[in-house]
Amino acid sequence: MKIIECPRDAMQGRTEFIDTAIKAAYINQLLEVGFDTVDFGSFVSPKAMPQMRDTAELLDLLDLYHSKSKLLAIVANKRGAEDALDFEEIDYLGFPLSISETFQKRNTNKSISEALEIVEDIQNLCETKGRTLVTYLSMGFGNPYGEAFSTGIVAEFVGKLDELGIKIIALSDTIGVAEPELIEKLFLTNIQAYPDIEFGAHFHSRPETIAAKIEAGLKGGCQRFDGALKGFGGCPMAKDELVGNVATEEMIRVLEKNGYDLGLNKEELVEAMKLADFVFG
């Protein structure tokens, strides 16, 4: 079972800039907890995402020597990937590929066909550099734009990514609309069809629906879940009304209730939650 903690997702939509030293202190605390991966920053245009303009500077302040956690950075184009791959500390690159043409344009200013070409370019770069690309299927459970959506469309996208050699795909509930029945079905179907791909869940959720979504993912065979402490954040490109990330502490509770030993340092987790209150208010 892999838990990916996403402070980048929690921070990116905030209008008031969070000081780099504060970001570093928070992420360093998260690195002490023992998460599989920490999604710490992004190499994107500072005009598009001003909160993340200090990601390269932030890397210099991270204490990676006492942590087993790996680092993930989000990129939106080939140039961002090239910049990120200059840093050996980064293990994973993440790229948001949307099932929705409207959202792909809003999120990366590209069409889906253009975005798929970028995925191929980044995948080739990652293979050359010995890194791994995580592709997020945004709007993976439906969208608010009235565009066609079905499990078959999701499978079609997964098939295209499989042809490119993508090994990790995170099905993303960008606006928090996924129902448990659909969650279970999507994971079960795709995990059975593509056993060589690691499928993850990046849910956005209101607090009262977190447990049902996580348990549905488990029933479908998902072994990789993204979250953010206290449920802060959400995708600022999705809608005017944000639905927050899955609260990691609630996700941990559900997973442990279902018998998973996550190997986390609970004392450091408590300290991280206290620091989250300070960072995000």
DSSP string, 177-246: ---HHHHHHHHHHHHHH-TTSEEEEEEB--GGGHHHHHHHHHHTT--EEEEBGGG----TTT-SS--PBP
Q: How far is residue 216's CA from residue 78's CA, in Å, rounded to a whole number?
A: 35
What mean pLDDT is predicted for residues 164-177? 93
**Whole-number Cα distances in Å, 62 to 27, 82, 200, 264, 278:** 7, 21, 26, 19, 19
Q: How does residue 179 score in pLDDT terms, banded at 50, 70 and 90?
A: very high
Q: How far is residue 74's CA from residue 72's CA, in Å, rounded to a whole number?
A: 7
The β-bridge partners of 201 are 171, 225
The pLDDT value recorded for residue 107 is: 81
The pLDDT value recorded for residue 243 is: 60
The pLDDT value recorded for residue 98 is: 93
Q: How far is CA 241 from the centre of its chain?
A: 19
Each residue's pLDDT tens digit, 91-122: 999 999 999 999 898 888 889 999 999 999 99
Each residue's pLDDT tens digit, 244-259: 789 999 999 999 999 9
Structure tokens at 124: 């080739």
Q: How far is residue 229's CA from residue 236's CA, in Å, rounded to a whole number?
A: 18
The pLDDT value recorded for residue 108 is: 85
Average pLDDT, the chain: 93
Q: Is the pLDDT of residue 234 over 80?
A: no
Q: How does residue 90 score in pLDDT terms, banded at 50, 70 and 90?
A: very high
pTM score, whole prediction: 0.94
Q: Is the pLDDT of residue 31 over 90?
A: yes
The pLDDT value recorded for residue 175 is: 83
**CA dihedral of residues 172, 110, 106, 175 (deg, nearest 10):** -10
The pLDDT value recorded for residue 48 is: 86
Q: Is the pLDDT of residue 130 over 90?
A: yes
Closest CA to 75 of 96, 46, 89: 96
Which residue type occupies 51? Answer: Q
Structure tokens at 203: 């849910």
Say what percent of the chain tops pLDDT 90: 80
What are the structural domains, with CATH classification, of the chain? 2-280 (3.20.20.70)
Residues near 139 by Cβ (< 8 Å), separated by ≥ 6?
98, 99, 100, 103, 149, 172, 174, 175
How many CB atoms are closer than 10 A to CB 215?
17
Q: What beta strand segments (E) does the chain contain?
A: 2-5, 37-43, 70-75, 92-98, 132-138, 168-173, 198-203, 224-227
Each residue's pLDDT tens digit, 54-89: 999 999 999 998 899 999 999 999 999 999 999 999
Q: How far is residue 258's CA from residue 146's CA, in Å, rounded to a whole number?
A: 36
